[in-house]
Structure 1
Amino acid sequence: MASDIKHVTFRNPDMYWDIAADIYFPPGFDESKSYPAIVCAHPIGSCKDQTSGNIYATALAEAGNVAIAFDASFQGSSGGTPRFLEDPAQRVEDFRRVVDYLVTLPYVDGDRIGVLGVCGGGGYTLNVAMTEKRFKAVVSITGVNYGRMLRDNTGDGLLDALRGVGVQRTAEARGAEGVVNGMLPPTAEGAQQVGDIDVIEAFDYYRTGRGEAANGCVLFEAAHGASALGWDAFHLAERLLDQPLLVVVGDKQGAFGAYRDGLEIHERAASTDKELLVLKGVSHYDLYDQPVGAGEALKRVVPFFAEKL
């Protein structure tokens, strides 16, 4: 296990709320030394206590890095209202805020900072790396282009969904209560009836002792969802995403579309140093915490960061 975890909060000058994060220190940590640092981003509807922290940040710290897993603004233990807001612009900006904090720590080498994200956090990781060049190496774990996922799963109802967001926002501006929607069916049986592997395994991860956490609610605020429906994580990747890149996906495909997104971003990224790791017989949620998924991914992720940072 990592030798120590420090719970921190910080606030940037552009913010009215705190970001909460956990810093994972390597064994034998010496504050007088300088270490590479890796920012770890959680999935949509998740929190730092789940896969980004307890699996990936932990393993990266054990390997000799300082790793920081943070809660997105409006989510988890971070501040901001309305709660459960999933705004891509804010999610991307949070990464910069975390780096701003890291470079103030005397034991962090500001020239050796990497970034890793899981699921929607992987999509945000790929997007922010296009314009945040303090990130020197980039890893996407079963990364999902959140805007593409929403549009695909909304289908022909996309324009109606956008109109519905506007109606809800107007209602709240006039004093109505906010609305929060859940992504998952209420029961395991309901998930099975949906019949999609990503939905079934999402329920197993988020709603059982396997991955359940107080702040991993898989809830989404409704009145501010328009920007996500029109967002594309991969826009300009062929011009701007030039850092060393590792994309990890499993080949068992579900409705969230991580496999297709992984192949697309690997093809489109401007980087001349890029790698696509496709794990056979591995699902989206295997890459959250299972030995066959996350365990196998880390066998490449750890040396990747060691080589690139």
Structure 2
Amino acid sequence: MLMRNQQRNLKSDFVTIVPCVAAICNLTSAAFAQQNKSRTAAIERKYPALADTVERRSVSIWSDGTKMAGDFYLPKDVAADARLPVIVFIAGTGGTKKGTPARMAPVFVKKGYAFFAFDYRGWGESDSKLQLLEALPEPDENGEVTVKARAIRWQMDFADQVEDIRNAIAFVAGEPNVDPNRIGILGTSYGGGLATWIAANDARVRCAAVQVPGMGGGRGPAAERRVLRLQTQQARGEVEPVPFETGAPGGKMSSYAHMRYNSAKGIGYSAIEAAEKITIPMLIIDAENEELMDRTKNGKRVAEILEANGTSVKYHVLEGIAHYGVYGKKFGEATSMEVEWFDQYLSLSSNSSKDDKQ
């Protein structure tokens, strides 16, 4: 299959690679597991039912030359000149716009918000990043090339996903029914750490909420040396430059076998350290029986940092649930708290007060 450049829509998860069997391609079962959730399957997945009063618009967002798929939710009868506060949803491990945010969006829209969800590059319905599998030929007079490349999907990639989030914020800030001075972010799980970093580093965001957040927890000296050694090996081509056959999560996260960790892309990323810079109001919701991480070193630790720095913060533990209970048993309670939090800090009156102080 021929490929002109990264700005073409990808038709499959293997862009220019001829379909083959494992014996020919010499791929492990882990490599095939990475591809068991294709872009086509994501497109074919059904949305949950949408209330008659809510409108959903499909949009495309450019992020560093690759198109991401997004969903923009509004009240169906919104006035042309209305300027609404908007919540940008930041997904967790393997999360896509047709999952949790599709359930949350109507709740926020009915309360007078616009709501925006998207799939990171290489996740869900979004186009893939590309890895060249051969020498790059000389571009033609239009700067175009025909290449053999691998579609890079389902990467846990802090550096690129921070860029994706910022481009999602940039996109929605340009929507005519959005008030760009009233942007909130809502991150869940792995996305809670990303949301924390964004809250510290993107001045467009006025309020944040995170639920069952994974903040990374930091690395010890030995782990840091291992990651730096991995980056050296990737740079020299001694191991896979981008995880494909390697990098699948195990243990408690083994249900995400299609995902790939690339710890080398997380060098210098620390949501805990970023929290020291946060000045906007932040809600942090944890699960009492959190089983995937130590919440005292994640959500609670960030809350302690914000409180010590005098930043408006609310820390709440949902009783009687483990990590995934926030999407089930306690979905309504968590979402109600989040709506209340954004009501407090993204209303026109609170926004005006903040502007007066700047």
**Greater C-alpha radius of gyration:** 2
1:228 aligned to 2:298? no
Match of 1:6 in 2: 57
Q: Provide runs of 4+ in structure 1 moved above 3 Å.
A: 155-178, 257-260
For the pair 1:146 / 2:185, whether they are aligned, the reply is no
Q: Is the 8 A contact 2:217 2:272 kept in 1?
A: no
Which letter maps to 2:282?
L
* Equivalent runs, 1:133-212 vs 2, <5 Å: 133-146=203-216, 148=218, 151=219, 159-160=225-226, 163-164=229-230, 166-167=232-233, 170-171=236-237, 178-184=244-250, 199=252, 203=255
Alpha-carbon distance, 1:77 to partner:
2.1
| Amino acid corresponding to residue 118 of structure 1 in structure 2 | T
Aligned match of 1:275: 314
Deviates most, 126-135 or 79-88: 79-88
- Aligned-partner residue type, residue 169 of structure 2: V
**1:26 is matched by which residue type in structure 2?**
P
Q: Quick one: percent identity of the two aligned structures?
A: 25
Matches within 5 A, 1:279-298: 279-287=318-326, 289-291=327-329, 293-298=330-335
Q: Larger deviation: 23-32 or 86-95?
A: 23-32
Could you list the runs of 5+ residues in structure 1 that have no partner in the other structure? 185-193, 207-216
Paired residues for 1:1-309 under 5 Å: 1-2=50-51, 3-11=54-62, 15-51=64-100, 53-79=101-127, 80-81=129-130, 82-146=152-216, 148=218, 151=219, 159-160=225-226, 163-164=229-230, 166-167=232-233, 170-171=236-237, 178-184=244-250, 199=252, 203=255, 218-220=258-260, 222=262, 225-228=263-266, 231-238=269-276, 240-258=277-295, 260-269=297-306, 270-287=309-326, 289-291=327-329, 293-309=330-346
The aligned amino acid for 1:7 is: S
TM-score normalized by the length of structure 1? 0.77
Q: Which amino acid aligns with 1:59?
A: V
In structure 2, relative to structure 1, the CA distance for the partners of 1:147 and 1:75 (3 Å cut) is farther
The equivalent of 2:21 in structure 1 is none
1:277 shift after superposition? 1.1
Q: Matches of 1:110 and 1:96 in 2, distance apart?
A: 13
Under a length normalisation based on structure 2, what TM-score does the superposition of the two structures give? 0.67
Contact 1:253–1:284 under 8 Å retained in 2: yes
C-alpha RMSD over aligned residues: 2.9
Offset at residue 227 of structure 1 (A): 2.8
Mapped to 2, the partners of 1:304 and 1:233 lie a distance apart of 21
Name the CA shift for 1:78/1:176 in 2 (closer, same or farther; >3 Å): closer
Number of matched residues? 271
Contact residue 244 and residue 260 of structure 2 kept, 8 A: no
SS in 2 for 1:11: strand
Confirm or deny: 8 A CA contact 2:248 2:260 kept in the other structure: yes
Amino acid at match of 2:67: D
